[in-house]
Chain A
């Protein structure tokens, strides 16, 4: 007997959810075409696929957020129409979305009961297997004072809070029902979302990328809880693209690629290699070339940096590190631990409360030019003794005409003694640019921070350079050339440079943005989540571009979420936790577990 048959026999389980030939399109984009899927009682099914393969939209159909164009949904053998999340709860389906839908200033209990009317709440409490509900007779009319009192003391939510505690005990969650969401960590918020669905009595729980925001340790905890839920007879669907987790937790795995169903396999019959092949169409290995860092000179120095948010809380506290030329410094951390603020502070977008960002222009023994310095600046620097001649003599401009100084500078006879240091604190991106510092930045939100979606590729090229040239008018020629160059060299799939950027696919949008920043000839290059949402091929294009910049001596700061990529690409990794540096490690020597522990601040 084959192992799969054995599993089937052992299961003897009922079909709880069946999707038949589901298709859904958004405009011209076909999110799902003819996808069928089965879910049995008491199993964990992984929905696996790359970004944009239609996992989330398929599950949104089950959760009542979208309605399919064609195909049918059956619950326990009966065809149903789920037209709203309310319908979904009626059929005992609950979904935990990737972006939590919680009210920040409410407590856990309030978040759980919000949206439920009195009747539903009462019926849920009666249904509850564990809570003994006191016989609450229907009171004709509650005294208004009493209601206000109840509202203030929250005693009217006591039953609900008890039930939440019971749920926690039953499945092994740890959560304080009276804690406010704004005081919760990401994993607590996720716990709360799961409890919210359990409270409403779901049989089918859908989790959209639940592990994306968790540390390895927290993931273990989550999986333990999920196993307990499975034992209690609940069916769980996990959307993910992380293969090791899939192999860890699931009973069966359904793979989607580009909106189509590739197949469903039992975990015991399959391997990571087979799943990868199903996912991407061919076997690929995370095979990123990593060269040794070239130079040794410091490019960027961050000293005791602190940044406060709008409420005056520290989002970054006492951060110090160095970036050398020709190295990739990875920044790891659970998202929201200060990565965004760190990059923004360096780029001059975020005000710095304390500390300093120092840029070193590598000028040691290199000639002075009028490109960055005016004649007067050069004179002052010379009087301070910052230069020497090509013959190693001291420079003295006293008694020499301006014309002669110009000649000597233009001939390249005057050299810097040392690297120039520049303080970036308090300067905005434009001022930094005007200092001649080429600080390139690919922010996490491409269309919201880096590009303008409604503008075409040419116009987006202009963002960096539109100010160049005197006079009030724009120069259209150069951006057009840059755009052509990027389209050709990075193979951007577009009909012309006149296409609005928002109409390009995610990978091509990223190519345009990265291409523009590279065209800016950076000396420091900061990238945040550059491959988020990209397919494997586009991701490799980006890795290669970064590596090429590294070989050119550019210092790169790479903020990433995929630890495997960080370990393969970076030279050193700085780990952020709660806005503090919890460690700087050598990426060639560290492993994922250690990184995970640092991410948790241990």
Chain B
């Protein structure tokens, strides 16, 4: 497969995944806003959402303060924000366009339809409208993944799509937890009630509440939530699950052999797996956990770079 095409596939998957998670994070926040009357949603809550889904410093370089409608626009439709949902979906479609001869027609059509119907909209005029658009984004992403799973041959293009998705997911999950840790640290003295709410939010953001409740009914202990989201080998959004599957996909790609050119990539992946096995998430203090997550996010960047180098990936499709 052409390196350029492989790169586009990889980034298409990342962009779809990013759009979906960003949509879910905002959707959870909008529901939360309804539940706790508006005055109690602080600016800091919004800053955290921005930090998870984009970059807070980028946001402040163009805005003076936090204003609800403005933040929603920034995260969903603003073309100035590289990570806005619209941008992610537009990039995903461009990547799909560059790889149309490799992917199922249905996958292209789903992304094209989203583009035609939802990326040119004017600002949302109501809460319902915004919520509806977010649901639609998540639906588009799951439909796209369904098409990939049900119709793509388990070959090289499939592997690149999956690796992109898992790396994106692992990194994002780490980011969500990092923001959350920072928050609990700042509010050490706060009552357990609000902590309960934080952990619930984290589970919702990674779409894991229902799965968690089945495994740990009906408690919400931080150590349980953390080990579930970080280390659970069966939960498809846990960091552990994602890394295991990246490893598996690359093994498959290489027919189980480690060659000279892929040596470093395998080595780094194995190191990350070992770090997870050695770490005792349950016993870590918040500070230790944050350091652990920080290190992991750096590892993600390293894996992404090594992956690109190993397969000669070149610049993703330039957006004009």
A binds B: no
